[in-house]
Amino acid sequence: MEYRKIIEFGKSSYVISLPKDWLAQKNLKKGDVLYLDKEHDRLYLYPPEKHSKPTIKSTLIDITGLDSVQIKFLLVSRYINNHNEITIVGKDLASNAPKVRDIIHDLIALEIIEETSEKILTRDFLNMNEIDILEMLKKMDSITREMMRDSLKSFDQSNSADIKLRDKDVNRICYLVSRTIRYLQRRPALAKEKGFTQGELLRLWNLTLRVESIADNTKRVASMMQRVKMSDADKKEFLKLFEQVHGFYSESIQAYFNREQNKAVMLRPKADVLTKKSKDYFRSNWDVDWVPTILEKVKGIVADTKQITAYLCDQS
pLDDT value of residue 249: 98
Q: Which CATH class, in words, describes the domain spanning 132-313?
A: mainly alpha
Instruction: Give, for 45, the enclosing helix (H) or strand (E).
Output: strand 42-46
List % helix, strand, coil for the chain (3-state, nearest 5): 60, 10, 30
pLDDT value of residue 30: 78
Give dist(CA 226, CA 50) in Å, integer: 55
Backbone angles phi, psi at 45, to 5 degrees: -125, 125
pTM: 0.85
Q: Smallest Cα–Cα separation from 137: which of 242, 215, 247? A: 215
pLDDT value of residue 39: 64
Instruction: Give, for 298, the enclosing helix (H) or strand (E).
Output: helix 291-313
Give dist(CA 140, CA 257) in Å, integer: 13
One digit per residue, pLDDT tens: the chain, 316 residues? 677 788 877 767 778 888 888 778 777 887 777 777 676 667 777 676 654 456 789 999 999 999 999 999 999 999 999 999 999 999 989 999 999 999 999 999 999 999 998 999 999 989 999 999 999 999 999 999 999 999 999 999 999 999 999 999 999 999 999 999 999 998 888 898 899 988 899 999 999 999 999 999 999 999 999 999 999 999 999 999 999 999 999 999 999 999 999 999 999 999 999 999 999 999 999 999 999 999 999 999 999 999 999 998 876 5
How many C-beta neighbours within 10 Å does residue 107 have? 22
- 302 Cβ partners below 8 Å, 6+ apart? 245, 248, 271, 274, 275, 278
Give dist(CA 20, CA 17) in Å, integer: 9
Is residue 90 within 8 Å of residue 96, measured between CB atoms? yes
Enumerate the domain spans of the chain: 7-46, 58-124, 132-313
Could you tell me where the DSSP H helices lie in 152-231? 160-185, 188-193, 198-225
pLDDT value of residue 61: 97
Is residue 57 within 8 Å of residue 84, measured between CB atoms? yes
Domains 58-124 and 132-313 in one fold: no
Is residue 189 within 8 Å of residue 35, measured between CB atoms? yes
Does 58-124 carry CATH code 3.40.50.2000?
no
Q: Smallest Cα–Cα separation from 176: which of 216, 124, 215, 227? A: 124
